[in-house]
Amino acid sequence: MKQITLNIPDSKFDFFMQLVRSLNFVQIANPTSEYDPTYVATIQKSLQEYDEGEFTSVDKEDLKGFLGLE
């Protein structure tokens, strides 16, 4: 059995993994992410909420007040 290491651009990674998983002779040795899946899901949810306009904007001058530091 042979083993290789590949560097895949982030933008193409999902596509590449779909392709690799469709090949019945390939075994994936390690998990695809070095990050906790719960953490990744939280970040993805936050990005989706931002894209949908669900965020709070604070001016630089008001930041300390927003954080309760004044």
Percent of the chain surpassing pLDDT 70: 94
Give the DSSP letter string of 30-57: S-S-SS-HHHHHHHHHHHHHHHTT----
- For the stretch 12-25, pLDDT in tens is 988 998 998 899 88
Domain ranges of the chain: 10-66
State how far Cα 27 lies from the chain centre: 23
Looking at the predicted structure, is the pLDDT value of residue 31 above 60? no
